[in-house]
């Protein structure tokens, strides 16, 4: 177990007074280092470190308002990044705009408003490839093969579909450019309980096919049980990081963040 607290830990009321001990790798696909970020002048994240290696499946969990979505938005260039660096595929993307970041091989499915409700399913997928001169038909075919229900509904307005189908569409749209890393912000939110496992199975499938995944989830036990590594984020700071299994097995983590 690695507790990642900063030297002001006691003043912050965080666990113990341990020195910061986050792991970093030379070969990371995504490397977030000492990131401070927020909205306008409002700082939400402090000194956040995070790594995703090639093909890895990494989960961020933590209380509501901890800054999990802000981490995702920061990686995608949607926040005010005040300090620190973000490297992706060996390139510094700290100050890169979202329209350019998608060219680098990063796909992002936001927590909310992640589809165009007035467009059809097919049109939504085409929008996923809007940066290309021509819509890649093979990419649409791949998405339809992965999510057959989307093929059935291809002419239907996206806004008329169920929550699970919308979420599949949002993921399909983000897969249109065959990203190296897919950012998923609460993919199981709002799904009927019997659809949650199915959604996680589909994410496993995407990762098994070689796409690295960085996911934020409220459904923390399930997510940690499936991912390679996890981070617990609290109050905009790293609190714990370890393999998913080790976090699940840790009494303190269970008690404080996983409902016992």
Ligand X SMILES: Nc1ncnc2c1ncn2[C@@H]1O[C@H](COP(=O)(O)OP(=O)(O)O)[C@@H](O)[C@H]1O
165 touches Mg ion (CB under 5 A):
no
The least CB distance from residue 233 to Mg ion, in Å, is 10
The least CB distance from residue 57 to Mg ion, in Å, is 19
Q: In this complex, which beta carbon is closest to ligand X, that of residue 66 or of residue 115?
A: 66
Contacts of 65 (CB under 8 A, 6+ apart): none
244: left (phi over 0), alpha (psi -120 to 50) or beta: alpha
d(CA 222, CA 208): 17
Q: In this complex, which beta carbon is closest to ligand X, that of residue 3 or of residue 186?
A: 186
Q: What sign has the CA pseudo-torsion 187, 171, 84, 49? A: positive
The least CB distance from residue 83 to ligand X, in Å, is 17
b/e for 88-100, b at 16 or more Cβ within 10 A?
beeeebbebeeee
Q: Which does 39 bind (CB under 5 to 8 A by kind): Mg ion, ligand X, none?
A: ligand X
The least CB distance from residue 79 to ligand X, in Å, is 8
Q: How many residues does the chain have?
A: 260
**Cβ-closest residue to Mg ion?**
69
The least CB distance from residue 74 to ligand X, in Å, is 9
User: Which H or E run includes 220?
Assistant: helix 220-226
Q: In this complex, which beta carbon is closest to ligand X, that of residue 11 or of residue 42?
A: 42
Q: In this complex, which beta carbon is closest to Mg ion, that of residue 125 or of residue 203?
A: 203
Q: Which does 64 bind (CB under 5 to 8 A by kind): ligand X, Mg ion, none?
A: ligand X
Instruction: Decide: 147 and 168 in contact? Cβ < 8 Å.
Output: yes
Rule CB under 5 A: choose which of 5, 22, 69, 165 binds Mg ion. 69
Q: What is the DSSP letter of 158?
A: G
- What tokens appear for 217 in the block? 């989830």
CA angle, 203 as apex, 198 and 207 as ends, to 5°? 145
Q: In this complex, which beta carbon is closest to Mg ion, that of residue 69 or of residue 165?
A: 69
Q: In this complex, which beta carbon is closest to Mg ion, that of residue 176 or of residue 183?
A: 183
Q: Which does 66 bind (CB under 5 to 8 A by kind): Mg ion, ligand X, none?
A: ligand X
d(CA 183, CA 170): 11
> Helix (H) and strand (E) counts for the chain?
11, 11
The least CB distance from residue 202 to ligand X, in Å, is 22
Chain residues binding ligand X by CB under 6 A are 39, 42, 44, 62, 64-70
The least CB distance from residue 183 to ligand X, in Å, is 12
* Count of positions on this chain that bind Mg ion (CB under 5 A): 2
Write out the residues near Mg ion by the rule CB under 5 A: 68-69
């Amino acid at each position: 177990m690695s507790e990642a607290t900063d030297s002001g830990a006691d003043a912050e009321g965080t666990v113990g007074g341990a020195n910061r001990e986050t792991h970093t790798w030379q070969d990371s696909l995504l490397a977030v280092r000492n990131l401070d970020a927020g909205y306008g002048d409002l700082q939400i994240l402090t000194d956040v470190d995070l790594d995703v290696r090639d093909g890895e499946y990494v989960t961020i969990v933590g209380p509501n308002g901890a800054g999990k979505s802000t981490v995702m938005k920061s990686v995608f260039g949607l926040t005010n990044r005040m300090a620190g660096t973000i490297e992706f595929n060996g390139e510094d993307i700290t100050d890169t705009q979202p329209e350019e970041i998608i060219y680098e091989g990063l796909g992002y499915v936001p927590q909310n408003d992640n589809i165009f409700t007035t467009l059809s399913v097919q049109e939504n997928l085409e929008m996923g490839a809007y940066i290309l001169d021509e819509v890649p038909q093979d990419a649409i075919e791949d998405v339809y093969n992965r999510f057959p229900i989307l093929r059935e509904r291809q002419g239907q307005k996206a806004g008329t579909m169920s929550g699970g189908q919308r979420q599949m569409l949002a993921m399909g749209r983000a897969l249109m450019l065959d990203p190296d890393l897919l950012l998923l912000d609460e993919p199981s939110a709002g799904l009927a309980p019997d659809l949650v496992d199915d959604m996680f199975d589909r994410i496993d499938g995407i990762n098994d096919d070689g796409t690295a995944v960085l996911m934020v989830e409220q459904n923390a036990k399930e997510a940690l049980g499936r991912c390679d590594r996890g981070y617990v984020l609290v109050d905009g700071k790293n609190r714990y990081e370890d393999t998913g299994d080790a976090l699940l097995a840790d009494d303190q983590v269970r008690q404080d963040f996983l409902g016992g």
